[in-house]
Amino acid sequence: MINKLIAWIIPFLPEKFIWLFSKKYIAGKNFHDALKIVKLLNTKRILTTIDILGESLHNKQQAKNFKKKYIQTIEKSSEHGLLTTFSLKPTMFGLLNDFEFCYQTIRQIVASAVRHNFMIRIDMEDSQCTDLELALFKKLYGEYPCNVGIVIQSYLKRSLSDLKTIQQFSNPKHPVNIRLCKGIYIEPPDIAYKKKDEINTNFLQCLDFILVQNMFPAIATHDKKLIRDCLSLISKHKTKKNHYEFQMLYGVTPRLRDAIVNEGHFMRIYVPYGEKWFNYSTRRLKENPHIVYDIILGFFVRN
């Protein structure tokens, strides 16, 4: 209740105030802000994935502007020799309005990534997007198997079945790169697990399947106990260090992040930046008011 109230109030507070705690999780407004952070992380042997913040599509010109921004970011990242990939949300490119337009637009971003030897991850959004995002991924992967990745959310009851479908078209020479996360959106109980232990059990079942099928898992969680259970599975399957990676969000659990890096595992940090940071922060808060708790915690606890 208190979370919901705070989430409702936040959009009415001054941007400067919101920035005080958002800056812990968002690199800044422009590429140079992201560049500083990515370079710093890279010097610590930490990889990154850069995300440009935006809203769902309002018109095609907006999507074209975002495409331009992604391509410029890819080119500048290449100039600076960054150890990074890129993450994007298909609804910013019209996924729910015009699938073909969305596919063609993202395809141009992927083509730019191919030219500079980078990878683009299709983020997974709420459940109305799942089928469309999987279809989009399948099309892009068919053309550029080394340069696109997808996300699977363990709170969805369908996820293991989706992985079985993905495995059928995964190319053994370039196995599908799958970010496995719990999922951030609020979904109804008929399609999504609600209890933490059920979500975690499904997470481990999905990871087990990915490892057995020799696909590439990017294990995206800050849950310490779950990470230890994932590491047990990795050692059970004798998976080599370059056949998996961990991922975390920028600003979240940096001590745990460093401990994993010091144990010799690959780690990639999700670094969001963009002018739309305020809308993004407040929209995410409305989507999932539980984040308020973490943000408030982050405001008081300095790691």
Ligand X SMILES: Cc1cc2nc3c(=O)[nH]c(=O)nc-3n(C[C@H](O)[C@H](O)[C@H](O)COP(=O)(O)OP(=O)(O)OC[C@H]3O[C@@H](n4cnc5c(N)ncnc54)[C@H](O)[C@@H]3O)c2cc1C
Chain positions contacting ligand X, by CB under 6 A: 123-124, 151, 153, 179, 181-185, 220-223, 247-249, 252-253, 270, 291, 294, 298
Q: 238 Cβ partners below 8 Å, 6+ apart?
A: none
Judged by beta carbon, residue 60 or residue 204, the one nearer ligand X is 204
Judged by beta carbon, residue 74 or residue 220, the one nearer ligand X is 220
Can you tell me the distance from the alpha carbon of 287 to that of 275, in angstroms, rounded to the nearest whole number?
20
Please, what is the minimum distance in Å from the beta carbon of residue 245 to ligand X?
10
Judged by beta carbon, residue 83 or residue 252, the one nearer ligand X is 252
Can you tell me the distance from the alpha carbon of 84 to that of 119, in angstroms, rounded to the nearest whole number?
8
Please, what is the minimum distance in Å from the beta carbon of residue 256 to ligand X?
8
Judged by beta carbon, residue 60 or residue 126, the one nearer ligand X is 126
Please, what is the minimum distance in Å from the beta carbon of residue 151 to ligand X?
4
Type of residue found at 92: M
Please, what is the minimum distance in Å from the beta carbon of residue 207 to ligand X?
12
Please, what is the minimum distance in Å from the beta carbon of residue 226 to ligand X?
7
Q: 230 Cβ partners below 8 Å, 6+ apart?
A: 203, 204, 207, 219, 221
Burial environment of residue 171 by CB neighbours within 10 A (0 to 12, 13 to 18, 19 or more): exposed
Judged by beta carbon, residue 54 or residue 183, the one nearer ligand X is 183
- Identify which of 97, 127, 93, 91 has the alpha carbon closest to the alpha carbon of residue 107: 93
Please, what is the minimum distance in Å from the beta carbon of residue 194 to ligand X?
13
Kindly tell me the number of DSSP H helices and DSSP E strands found in the chain.
12, 8
Region for 238 from its dihedrals, namely left if φ exceeds 0, alpha if ψ lies in -120 to 50, beta otherwise = left
Element (H, E) at 228: helix 224-236
Can you tell me the distance from the alpha carbon of 237 to that of 274, in angstroms, rounded to the nearest whole number?
40
Please, what is the minimum distance in Å from the beta carbon of residue 61 to ligand X?
25
Helix (H, G, I), strand (E, B) or coil at 268: strand
Judged by beta carbon, residue 64 or residue 158, the one nearer ligand X is 158
| 49 phi/psi in degrees, rounded to 5 | -135, 125
Can you tell me the distance from the alpha carbon of 249 to that of 154, in angstroms, rounded to the nearest whole number?
17
Please, what is the minimum distance in Å from the beta carbon of residue 291 to ligand X?
5
Judged by beta carbon, residue 57 or residue 180, the one nearer ligand X is 180
Can you tell me the distance from the alpha carbon of 285 to that of 184, in angstroms, rounded to the nearest whole number?
11
Judged by beta carbon, residue 51 or residue 175, the one nearer ligand X is 51
